[in-house]
Structure formats: structure tokens, C-alpha cells
Structure 1
Amino acid sequence: MDTLTQLRSASPYLQRCDTPIGRIEVASDGDAITAVAIEHNGSLPHDGLAYDSNAVADEAIAQLLDYFEGYRRGFSVPVAHRGTPFQLAVWQQLARLRWGQVTTYGAIAAAVGKTGSGRAVGGAIASNPTPLLVGCHRVLSATGRITGYSWGEGVKTKAWLLDHESIGHA
């Protein structure tokens, strides 16, 4: 089975839209959003696949567009994450963050019972399958600096998102 066929069977529904930070793609298993990707260097992970959307993917796109317009400050579409117990715990902490809220890698490490494991938290955040819906851009270093971002154009994309939510950063 080729890669595109495997992707289609894992998340058979796909929808895309244009945003101020580039094209966004959402994938759904029919019941929940399983992945969100932000365009990087002009491409998305599933550019080779045709749109085949469903109601939950369409709603996710509508909510994301409202977010970028400044009308929406939270998301209500269901998400389905698969990961290690540690990743899932980190992503649950991210999901608690709301518009304009910020935290640190160390604070998340403490919240999941792994004080001092900021780097491991960073790794889990970098593998968040649903950025934007689960706001991994709201995590900064202890000094308020942007230390990286795995989506879109990296730090430039994260800075745009932080500015959009009026979150100060260095």
C-alpha cells in the first residue's frame, strides 16, 4: 500500500483553506479532527490527495477562519490524538490554554509530574498533531522567548499567532 493510500485510510476526510499564515489542511476520521497542518515552503503534507471533506472537517475550517478573522477565541470541534501517555498528558495541558494565555515548558513539565523535563515537553509539543486547535504556539521559554515552532514557517508563524492573540514575547 502506498503512502497516500495509507494516509487516506487513516484519516479519510480532508479539507484545506487559505489563511494569513499560509494554507491550512485538516484531516478527520469522520468523528474528530486527527491532524492539522500549516503550509511549509509552499506545501502541505497531503497535497497529493484530493479534498474529500465531511461535516467535522468543514466545521474545523470554519472555526479556524473565524479565529483568523478575530471572531473566534476557542474551538469546539472534537480532536482525536494518538500518542504516548506522556505526549497525551502534555497535549491535555495545551488544550487547557485559552486565547491570550501563555505558559512555559517548565510549567507544563511540572503540571504533568515531570519537573525538570522541559526538553521532553518541547518534543511532545513539537509533535502535537493538531496545532492551532490545541494551541502549542502559546508556550514560551521561562524568559518569554520564542524558542521554536514546528509548523508553518517556524518562529515567524509562531510570532504571528502570538501577536494575533496579543501575547507578549521576546
Structure 2
Amino acid sequence: MTTPVRLAEPGPGPTRYTTVGSVIGELLLTGDGTSLTGVYMGLDHRHFTGIGADWVPDPAPFRAVAAQLAAYLAGELREFDLPLAPRGTPFQREVWTALTTIPWGHTTTYGSLAHRLGRPTGSRAVGMANGRNPVSIVIPCHRVIGADGSLTGYGGGLPRKRHLLALEGLTLV
């Protein structure tokens, strides 16, 4: 298992953003100028509320993010090394931190993740927090599957989840 990533609190100031093309479609990247706060699969990504009026378009802080995402999507990178600061509740952040420990090429279930977090009856809450992960791909929520081994919901759509898992050598129904 990998070491969990420490999630920082988002910094002050306006949200910065840019878009990058990828093999799974356009990705919208957001950040605070220092840390990555979001990776959304287009403007139609579930739970994405839209670009804020005070957001600043600025590709400069996202060069390392874009390079690492491109390398991952090309099958050349297995672990990201980026400062992360997703916005969420303490419980959501606990779940997202746990997601960062799921190794490349492996999956887990919502129930297993809940049990590991000391909440054995909390699989639905874990699922909801997983679904609200704003840093898709980098915080690998795509590696969480149903108890029966099937693909379940994904903010970027099941075809993208299937693609990401296949990239990691996994084929699920």
C-alpha cells in the first residue's frame, strides 16, 4: 500500500483554473496557486458547480499537474506527486486521504473502505464522500467498486472509469 497523501487546506485568494485535453476528454484543473483543488472531467462532471465569477484563468500553476496527468493517461506514471488541497468536510477529507492509499492496479469496495476507516456500517457515507471527490484521477476514486465487483457510479461517467481501470490493467463489468 502507498503512503496516504496529506491534504492541505486550500489557500486564500481566488481559485485559479485551466483546461487541458486528454484521451478521456477535456479536464478542468482548479487550484489555489500552490495546491491542486480539483480535476473535473469537463463542465458536465457530476457535482461540479461551474466556474465562479471570481475565478482566474491561469495555466502556469498547473504545468506539473498537466504533465503528470498526461504521463498517467499514457501509462507512464503510477503515482502522482502533487500538493493537494481539496475542499470538503472533515469526513470527506478522511475518505479522500484513504483513497490515496489504494495502489495503482488495485480496487477496493465501499464497504472495505468504510471498515478500514473504523465505520463498518458506513459504506453509503463512504460512497457519498467518494462521489464528491473533487480531485478525480489524482485521488483515485475510480478504484472503488461495488461489493459484487461491478462498476458503480463515477462523476466523470462509467466509460471514463472503465478506461482508467483498464489503463491500470483491470477489466470490470
TM range (shorter): 0.7 to 0.9
Cα distance per residue 1:64-88 (max 9 Å; x no partner):
0111111111100110022222111
Q: Paired residue for 2:58, among 31, 42, 52?
A: 52
Give the equivalent residue in structure 1 for 2:73: 68
How far, CA to CA, are the matches of 2:34 and 2:52 in structure 1? 22
- Extract structure 1 runs of 4+ deviating beyond 4 A: 47-50
* Alpha-carbon contact 1:15-1:61 (below 8 Å) kept: no
Give the equivalent residue in structure 1 for 2:125: 120
How far, CA to CA, are the matches of 1:150 and 1:157 in structure 2? 9
How far, CA to CA, are the matches of 1:84 and 1:165 in structure 2? 29
Q: Aligned pair in 2 of structure 1 residues 131, 17: CA closer, same or farther (>3 Å)?
A: same
Cα distance per residue 1:122-150 (max 9 Å; x no partner):
10001001010100000011111011111
Residues 1:149 and 2:154 aligned together: yes
Q: Paired residue for 2:105, among 97, 100, 104?
A: 100
Cα distance per residue 1:22-51 (max 9 Å; x no partner):
101111101100111102559x84399773
RMSD across aligned positions (CA)? 2.1
Amino acid at match of 2:106: Q
Identity of aligned residues (%): 34
* Alpha-carbon contact 2:28-2:43 (below 8 Å) kept: no
How far, CA to CA, are the matches of 1:41 and 1:25 in structure 2? 10
Higher relative contact order (CA 8 A, sep 6+): 2
Amino acid at match of 2:111: G
Count of aligned residue pairs for this structure pair:
157
Amino acid at match of 1:38: M
Gaps of 5+ in 2: 1-12
Residues 1:168 and 2:171 aligned together: yes
Gaps of 5+ in 1: 1-8
Amino acid at match of 1:83: G
How far, CA to CA, are the matches of 2:56 and 2:92 in structure 1? 30
TM-score, normalization by structure 2: 0.83
Between 140-149 and 130-139, report the one with greater CA deviation: 140-149
Give the equivalent residue in structure 2 for 1:31: 34
